[in-house]
Amino acid sequence: MCMASLTLTNVKKVYDNQVTAVHDFNLEIADKEFIVLVGPSGCGKSTTLRMIAGLEDISSGELKIGDRVVNNVEPKDRDIAMVFQSYALYPHMTVYENMAFALKLRKVPKEEIDRRVKEAAEILDITQYLQRKPKALSGGQRQRVAIGRAIVREPQVFLMDEPLSNLDAKLRNQMRAEIIKLRQRIDTTFIYVTHDQTEAMTLGDRIVIMKDGYIQQVGTPQEVFDHPINTFVAGFIGTPQMNFFNAKLEKSGDTYHAICGGASIQLPQQVQEKLKANGAVSQDIVLGIRPEHIVFVSDDQKANTLTGTVDVSEMMGSEIYIHVEGNMGGANTSNIVMRVPTSDLPTEFHGGVPHGTKLRFEFPGHLVHLFDSETERNLI
């Protein structure tokens, strides 16, 4: 029994034009794990995937599948199937023939092909389209066929490069749920590329966040959300994006405070201990807080709160995104985004909070993120 774990060690890709698309990529992927590579356009996601598939040479470093080094193994001998963004179906073949094609080439017996195609069609709910040509299918149905074509090969490793990005938002959400189901039904290692952080968060056992050819952070969705390693990851994961402010970390005696917009924010014991262990000193920081973590304060007299004026609000249905011009101390104003469950607001605000509304709020100490203002790395 082959184990489809993968190990990438110091993997690097330099293209012929001297562009280094991937620097020193190190990752161990467990058998049957669902890994998502995510990051902005050009960060090296597809290049990494194509090296795993064998469609691009590895410039240096080592790729293992199970215990076998496969740097020089032909793509067809890697026991990998890849689904691309463009489905690339054969237009003159029926859905059945499209799905059977790769197996025919491999001289798989007819009955076996039939069994696999019908089983895959069942999983993907496309049985009723098996005799149609691709042009008589919707985008979502075509994408299912493309996935079906990969499933029938029963690969050890399933690679997907932005398979949903050609679909409209509604279909994409639907197909995302389908991929979760698919994953439950076929026991394979998945490596999935996307630039959509929602897809990454909902699909991945672990997420690999990349930027400029470098891995920034690897972790479970919860880990990267709760403990982003730097401001890039913090801003990339979560919608709307985390708010960032120039602030100060102040150490007085043995106690640390964050000073942001004139408010002194008490930091919890755990954070105090970590700062102390890391030898943190009074310094400039970037303070981050997610839009859903800002808390409204009704008591006008409460100390260490901040105030602001509503600019616009976006009614999203069950939630409202409120854009606030905040008075962040002195002459500094700052655009702050807050995300509030509609049901938490008085009924008169359910259609949106009017421009000019005054708000008082605070940043709870256990929910703020503290980053070094120079290195942009998390201080905790």
Ligand X SMILES: Nc1ncnc2c1ncn2[C@@H]1O[C@H](COP(=O)(O)OP(=O)(O)OP(=O)(O)O)[C@@H](O)[C@H]1O
Which secondary-structure segment (H or E) carries 323? Answer: strand 319-327
Pairwise CA distance, residues 229 & 164, whole Å? 28
Sort strands 157-161 and 80-83 into parallel, antiparallel or unpaired: parallel
Rounded least distance, CB 45 to Mg ion, Å: 5
Q: Indicate the angle between helix axes 139-151 and 95-105, nearest 10 degrees.
A: 20
Pairwise CA distance, residues 166 & 144, whole Å? 12
The token duo for 1 is: 């029994």
Rounded least distance, CB 59 to ligand X, Å: 12
Of 41-49, 235-243, 252-260, 274-282, which part binds ligand X (CB under 6 A)? 41-49
46 binds Mg ion (CB under 5 A): yes
Of 39-47, 71-79, 240-248, 303-311, which part binds ligand X (CB under 6 A)? 39-47
57 binds ligand X (CB under 6 A): no
Contacts of range 179-184, beta carbons closer than 8 Å, 24 or more positions apart: 179/203, 182/123, 182/124, 182/147, 182/151, 183/34
322 binds ligand X (CB under 6 A): no
Pairwise CA distance, residues 242 & 238, whole Å? 7
18 binds ligand X (CB under 6 A): no
Size of the residue set binding ligand X (CB under 6 A): 13
Nearer to ligand X, 39 or 134 (CB): 39
* Residue with tokens 């972790």, as numbered in its chain: 219
42 binds ligand X (CB under 6 A): yes
43 binds ligand X (CB under 6 A): yes
- Cα 232 from chain centre: 13
Pairwise CA distance, residues 237 & 38, whole Å? 10
Q: Residue 131: count other Cβ atoms within 10 Å of its Cβ.
A: 10
Of 11-19, 102-110, 225-233, 364-372, which part binds ligand X (CB under 6 A)? 11-19
15 binds ligand X (CB under 6 A): yes
* Sheet containing strand 255-260, strands side by side: 263-266, 255-260, 243-252, 283-289, 369-372
Rule CB under 6 A: choose which of 195, 206, 323, 339 binds ligand X: 195
Closest CA to 79 of 6, 27, 146, 144: 6
| Length of the chain in terms of residues written | 380
44 binds ligand X (CB under 6 A): yes
CA distances from 328 to 166, 246, 362 (A): 42, 9, 12
Q: Residue 66: count other Cβ atoms within 10 Å of its Cβ.
A: 16
Rounded least distance, CB 79 to ligand X, Å: 23
Among positions 133-192, residues that touch ligand X (CB under 6 A) are none
Size of the residue set binding Mg ion (CB under 5 A): 1
Nearer to ligand X, 195 or 257 (CB): 195
Of 45-53, 104-112, 252-260, 278-286, which part binds ligand X (CB under 6 A)? 45-53
Closest CA to 125 of 88, 100, 151, 104: 151
Rule CB under 6 A: choose which of 5, 36, 46, 179 binds ligand X: 46
Per-residue contact track with Mg ion, 353 to 372, x per CB under 5 A? --------------------
Nearer to ligand X, 42 or 66 (CB): 42
Dihedral sign from CA coordinates of 245, 216, 155, 75: positive
194 binds Mg ion (CB under 5 A): no
19 binds ligand X (CB under 6 A): yes
35 binds ligand X (CB under 6 A): no
The token duo for 17 is: 């034009």
Type of residue at 66 = G
47 binds Mg ion (CB under 5 A): no
197 binds ligand X (CB under 6 A): no
Nearer to ligand X, 196 or 250 (CB): 196
The residue whose Cβ lies closest to Mg ion is 46
334 binds ligand X (CB under 6 A): no
Residues that bind ligand X (CB under 6 A): 15, 17, 19, 21, 39, 41-47, 195
Residues that bind Mg ion (CB under 5 A): 46
